[in-house]
Amino acid sequence: MPKRYLLDGKTPRISATNIDNGILGYYEDIDDKNYRVFENFISVSFLGAVFYHKYKASLDMKIHCLKLKNKELNKEVAFYLTSIIRQALKNTEYKDQISSTVLPDIKIKLPIDSRGTPDWNYMERY
């Protein structure tokens, strides 16, 4: 959704910037299929900026939303994951843009428990 269609409001808009938690500004929500809003997620920009957002936010183009499949994200786990994801993406350059087809192939290492599943408790305490 181009910025020219957005009106000043209260919903943070996440962009590719690496400052202010990726927040470009605050805008009104709109009813449009290209207007994406999420809550309690990790954003990844096409340039590798990674941030946790507990609050509801809209996403600019080329900003990806990461959510856990079978667990609600909490602050501790989110900070652990953002740190690992940033490390995995630290060498991203403009020519290596992170797309929705590339992102699922990026490998990160997580601690696992005795059942071989992610050790969320460890990540919360880390």
Q: Indicate if the pLDDT at residue 85 is higher than 90.
A: yes
Residue range of the domain that includes 23: 3-125
CB 60 within 8 A of CB 13: yes
pLDDT value for 58: 98
pTM score of the predicted model? 0.93
Give the CA angle between residues 43, 46, 50 to the nearest 5°. 35
Q: Residue 3: what pLDDT?
A: 81
Q: Residue 8 phi/psi, 5° resolution?
A: -55, 140
Q: What is the pLDDT of residue 14?
A: 98
Task: Output the domain CATH number for residue 31.
Answer: 3.90.220
Contact 106, 56 (CB under 8 A): no
| Predicted pLDDT at 48 | 93
Percent of the chain past pLDDT 90, that is, above it, reads 83
Check residue 74 and give its pLDDT.
97
> 8-14 and 50-59: which strand pairing?
parallel
pLDDT tens for 38-81 read 999 999 999 999 999 999 999 999 999 999 999 999 999 999 99
pLDDT (0 to 100) of residue 114: 96
Say what the pLDDT of residue 82 is: 98
- 14 near 60, Cβ under 8 Å? yes
Number of domains, the chain: 1
